């Protein structure tokens, strides 16, 4: 077994490797939330590490924590709001991999986890972790789409690796995620209309009136796992619910105490309260009409 295969077996993750040649810039266009608008940075590893020759991609299953209670009339909370923050966990595994590789190679590197620059999903696909599904997520043989990506951009000249058996694509007749998407962004192509992604709207700093209506109709308090929950490549899991009234009563210290272990607080508690207010107002109006 190669170094990478042995490491993947030890840490229970998936690993792939590929060259660092630039991606085809013609495949990029339109708005992508929370990432660089510089196409060169999105497509060329050399902008991250001059002289880069390769990219190692890993996929790590999330560290699951206790689920939220499921109150009557609750709003949905993504796994981003309940699972432990994957960023430090994936970085720690990547650092361990770098230490392992440095016993055999002398090289420079950059570690990327949820980078706003390099397109991590595209390089994960190129490295063989899986294929890009109709929901816009990388789907792997081992984890489905329920995993987090990390990259190492490096200048190792020759890296031994045994390729994994790969899934090829979504079944031609499967449109479950397209039909279930509350924002209808998957209706034609993932690369269109991403501004209506519910997960994005729950994290966006300012919402238009139309976006507030879309968020209210979705009943998603933070994030959105719908396209993953309906995907046949994923194992079934329970959804998490929260009564939005609880969030309206929480101060910043209470949010930090309850959710600081998650990736949910990066935009701050004010946005979470805003989402709770939108959903609670919607529920309140619905009850008033009945």
How many of the other CB atoms lie within 10 Å of CB of 4?
20
Considering the chain, what is the average pLDDT of its residues?
88
| pLDDT at position 267 over 90 | no
> Please, are residues 190 and 137 in contact by the beta-carbon 8 Å criterion?
no
pLDDT in tens, 164-179: 556 678 998 999 999 9
* Distance separating alpha carbons of residues 139 and 264, to the nearest angstrom: 23
| pLDDT at position 288 over 50 | no
Sign of CA dihedral 185, 63, 232, 241: negative
| pLDDT at position 187 over 70 | no
Q: How many CA atoms lie within 13 A of 238 on its CB side?
A: 11
Q: In what order do the strands lie in the sheet with 220-222?
A: 220-222, 75-77, 240-242
SS3 content of the chain, % helix, strand, coil (to 5): 40, 15, 50
pTM of structure: 0.90
pLDDT in tens, 206-238: 999 999 999 999 999 999 999 999 999 999 888
* Distance separating alpha carbons of residues 44 and 159, to the nearest angstrom: 20
pLDDT in tens, 79-97: 988 899 999 999 999 999 9
| pLDDT at position 99 over 80 | yes
Strands, E assignment, the chain = 14-19, 54-60, 75-77, 109-113, 131-132, 138-139, 148-154, 220-222, 240-242
- Name residue 153's beta-bridge partners: 55, 110
As a whole number, mean pLDDT of residues 36-52 equals: 93
> Please, are residues 151 and 115 in contact by the beta-carbon 8 Å criterion?
yes
Helices (H), 139-208: 176-180, 198-201
Residue of higher predicted confidence among 81 and 158: 81
* Distance separating alpha carbons of residues 59 and 43, to the nearest angstrom: 20
* Distance separating alpha carbons of residues 118 and 40, to the nearest angstrom: 9
pLDDT in tens, 14-34: 999 999 999 987 767 566 777
Q: How many CA atoms lie within 13 A of 250 on its CB side?
A: 23
């Amino acid at each position: 077994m190669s170094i990478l295969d042995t490491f993947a077996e030890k840490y229970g993750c998936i690993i792939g490797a590929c060259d660092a040649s630039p991606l085809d810039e013609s495949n990029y266009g339109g708005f992508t939330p929370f990432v660089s608008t510089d196409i060169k940075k999105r497509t060329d590893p050399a902008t991250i590490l001059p002289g880069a020759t390769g990219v190692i991609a890993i996929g790590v299953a999330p560290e699951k924590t206790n689920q939220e209670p499921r109150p009557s009339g609750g709003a949905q909370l993504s796994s981003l709001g309940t699972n432990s923050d994957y960023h430090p966990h994936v970085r720690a595994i990547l650092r361990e991999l770098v230490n392992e590789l440095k016993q055999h190679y002398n090289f420079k590197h950059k570690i990327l986890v949820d980078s706003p620059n390099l397109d991590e999903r595209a390089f994960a696909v190129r490295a063989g972790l899986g294929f890009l599904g109709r929901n816009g997520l990388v789907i792997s043989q081992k984890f489905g789409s329920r995993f987090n990506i990390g990259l190492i951009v490096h200048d190792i000249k020759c890296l031994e690796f045994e390729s994994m058996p790969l899934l090829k694509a979504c079944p031609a007749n499967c449109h479950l995620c397209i039909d279930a998407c509350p924002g209808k962004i998957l209706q034609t192509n993932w690369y269109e209309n991403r501004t209506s992604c519910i997960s994005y709207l729950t994290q966006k700093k300012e919402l238009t009136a139309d976006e507030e209506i879309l968020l209210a109709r979705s009943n998603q308090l933070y994030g959105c796992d719908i396209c993953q929950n309906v995907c046949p490549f994923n194992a079934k899991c329970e959804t998490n619910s929260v009564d939005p009234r609880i969030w309206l009563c929480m101060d910043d210290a209470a949010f930090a105490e309850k959710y600081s272990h998650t990736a949910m607080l990066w935009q701050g508690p004010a946005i979470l309260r805003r989402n709770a207010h939108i959903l609670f107002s919607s529920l309140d109006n619905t009850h008033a009409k009945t």
